[in-house]
Structures are given as structure tokens and as C-alpha cells.
Structure 1
Amino acid sequence: MTRYRNLAGDSGVRRYRIEPQAIAVEFVDGSHYLYTAASAGAEAIARMQALARAGRGLSTYINRHAHDAYARKLK
């Protein structure tokens, strides 16, 4: 997984992995979730991937728009 840059300094995201039509996210509490186009929508996944690459806003976006839209909990 790629370390999240956390440019704001207070993110709940630690690491992420971008996959085709999906993103896996590790949060600072150690939990891991997989969000997919089927579970959250292709537009949401594209936005989450862009935020992950930018290193800012991913945790806020997930909390506001995709919190329960994960495909499965990985850990």
C-alpha cells in the first residue's frame, strides 16, 4: 500500500492502494476497507483515487459520501 501524504496533517487515512475501479484504504485505527465502483459508484471511486493521489481530503470525502459504501472490510 502507498502511504497517504496527509498534507492537512489530521487525516484518518494512513495508507491506500488504487486498483482498477476500486480503492483499498487503511485508516489510522488499523481498519482496512475496500471501496469498489459496484459498492460506492464509479464517480465516487474516481474522486477517492484523485484525493488519495493528492494527499488531501480523502478521509473527509469518505466520511461525508462513502462511509458505509464499502464492498468489504479487509481487516
Structure 2
Amino acid sequence: MSSNHIKYRNLGGNSGVDTYKIEEESIEITFNSGGTYLYTYQAPGGYHVERMKDLARSGRGLNAFISIYVKDNYDKKLR
């Protein structure tokens, strides 16, 4: 885990999200499966990125939101 990444609280107990890093116009998410993805205002867009930031901070619902609304619409796969 990068020193800038925050451990996702996973209050629902079954999330695929491991850590996240919030920037002004993006969020970087590392999944338990090992992949790290960058979501930006370009893809999937500002509304989705801001909602993902809120869910990340709250520790609940982020993985479900990505699965339902964002899917493969990310800016880039980092690793």
C-alpha cells in the first residue's frame, strides 16, 4: 500500500476495495484482487468521481457503486 493510500473501512464487511487515494479531480482505488485503477473527471466523469470520494470516506457502498454505475469506465489501470 502506498503511503498516500487510505485503508478502506469496509463497514459492510464484503467489499472488494482495499485502499483509496483522493486527489482534487480523481480517486485512485486498489482492489483486494490487486488491481489499482485511476478514476478521473475525464473518465468516468466528475459526478461519479465525487460520489466515489464520498463513499470511500464513509467506508460503505464504494464497490457496489463501481460495479453498478462505473464498471470499466476508468481513466487508466495503474497496476
TM-score class, shorter-chain normalisation, is: over 0.9
Determine the structure 2 residue equivalent to 1:15: 19
Q: More helix per residue: 1 or 2?
A: 1
Q: Which runs of 4+ in 1 moved over 3 A?
A: none
Are 2:34 and 1:30 aligned? Answer: yes
- Residue identity over aligned pairs, in percent, reads 44
Structure 2: runs of 5 or more not aligned = none
| 2:72 is equivalent to residue 48 of structure 1 | no
Residue in 2 that maps onto 1:68: 72
Q: How many residues align?
A: 75
State the TM-score, normalizing by the size of structure 1.
0.98
TM-score (norm 2): 0.93
Could you tell me which runs of 5 or more consecutive residues in structure 1 were left unpaired when the two chains were aligned: none
Q: What SS is found at the alignment partner of 1:49?
A: helix
Please give the secondary structure, in 2, of the residue aligned with 1:68: coil
